[in-house]
Amino acid sequence: MRSHVTDGDHRLSMWRRVREFAVPPSMIETATARRTVGDWAGACAAARVDADVDLCAARQVHGRELAARLRADLRHLAPDLLRWHLPRVAPIGRLRPGLTVSLARYPSAAGGEVQLVARTAPAWAAAGQRIGLTLWDGTRRGDHLQPPPDRRFRLDLHRHLWHARHTSELPMRSGVDSWLSGLGDSTGQLPRGCAAHRWAAEAALLRCAEGRPDAPVLIRLGGRRRLILATDSDAPRALSGQPSTRLPVLPDAATWALPDLLLLRAGLISAGRLHPLVAAALAPYLAQADESGRPDPPSGWPLVECDGSTHRIGLVDGVLAPLDHDPDELRREELLVALGGTPLPCLRVIDEANRDPVQLNEIRPRLDHGDVAGALAAVEGLLGPDAVLRDGALRDELATVAAGQVTAGLYRAGLTGRGPLKFPPTTTPRERRTAARRRCRTR
């Protein structure tokens, strides 16, 4: 789905970043393995989805038929694919905060309708980028419950974006043949990235689902721009005045082209970098996909000019160390530094790497998208598993993430609804951790 903050190349750059870091291959592999053996709860856990769905309670309250349909959907839910397709916001492509997305609708034996929904936390509690999965029947209230399902961001009409058994619909629903050939490009006054060639068909599906075969459909193009699609055969026209809240709204998933298609067309991603379910569905159309989107592998540590010679640094016994200095020389240098002397260039590079490594730009995106395990693995691969972090940008990043995880955990547990934890203007990570502990004790 489209981000409504940036356009053009900036938006494509954001989606490329999302595809590289937001759903890591390890998450996809683990979630897929658990899903294929019927462990839907384990698949959700692997994809950082908090499943709050009680099948027994659903059967007792809403009837056996609803519980059976819900169980079938959960068994084929691909939570990693759901994370892949959920709407995001610029500039770094985090999940759109404070959102409730309808995945499926079921008639209840008790009357009314029950929806399976995915929820994202508000921005102040979004550390970890976790997703909540629960049922919504329109009756529950509470400080920690987010708004009702959003009409604009709904996936109950787009099961191919989260249900493993419906991914075969992806080529048809995304109009892949038109987009990869260039025929699906927007023309005239429509923004780049519109799926205008699919609007009439998607509007027909929306009218059928809403039981309003003759209703005009509202199309939102970001900002305050609105279009009206009166019938399947008419061209969309600009809306004058305020739109009626009673009009059906074309979901964003139907309004905008699939980001993967835009990235493929621009050569910013390769077919091998797609989600496996997406790649399998699009395989017949990707025979000549450009492989230039594959990122370059990270390089090793550079050589250091030290005392007129070129020296190496690398991992030794679990820590980053100079490779061309003997232990006695290093002990003398450490003593000299302790007394206020200037360290050797090799030691300066190692110290800088522990404080603010150049590779921090490869670690920070993982933290932004909640992949703490992947970020820590990258740190260990960079500095060694036994490295002791020193005060600096890297340690501050990890401390900030840890504090955010505490806030997010309190939010999920319903223990705070007053916004993020506030820290005094301290100067070191240790003082920030102490402030956080004091704050928790006073709650």
Q: Cα–Cα distance between 214 and 224 in angstroms, integer?
A: 25
Report pLDDT for 154: 96
> pLDDT for 3-40, tens place per residue?
444 455 688 999 999 999 999 999 999 999 999 999 99
> The tokens of 387 are what?
């490295």
> pLDDT for 137-162, tens place per residue?
887 555 455 688 999 999 999 999 99
CB burial class (10 A; 0-12, 13-18, 19+) of residue 206? buried
> pLDDT for 299-334, tens place per residue?
456 788 887 788 887 777 777 778 878 787 778 877
Report pLDDT for 11: 85
CB 80 within 8 A of CB 28: yes
Report pLDDT for 222: 76
CA separation, residue 40 to residues 32, 80, 271, 385 (Å): 10, 11, 27, 33
CB 130 within 8 A of CB 370: yes
DSSP H or E segment with residue 9: helix 8-21
Residues 6+ apart with CB under 8 A from 129: 22, 48, 94, 95, 369, 370
Q: Cα–Cα distance between 179 and 163 in angstroms, integer?
A: 23
CB burial class (10 A; 0-12, 13-18, 19+) of residue 127? buried
Report pLDDT for 32: 97
CA separation, residue 417 to residues 118, 245, 411 (Å): 20, 29, 7
Q: If you average pLDDT over every residue of the chain, what do you get?
A: 83
Other CB atoms within a 10 A radius of the CB of residue 320 amount to 20
> pLDDT for 159-214, tens place per residue?
999 999 999 999 999 988 777 666 555 555 788 888 888 999 999 999 999 999 88
Higher pLDDT, 346 or 36: 36
Higher pLDDT, 287 or 423: 287
pLDDT band for 292, please (50, 70, 90 cuts): very low
CB 58 within 8 A of CB 70: yes
> pLDDT for 67-123, tens place per residue?
999 999 999 999 999 999 999 998 899 999 999 999 999 999 888 899 999 999 999
Q: Is 41 left (phi over 0), alpha (psi -120 to 50) or beta?
A: alpha
Residues 6+ apart with CB under 8 A from 56: none
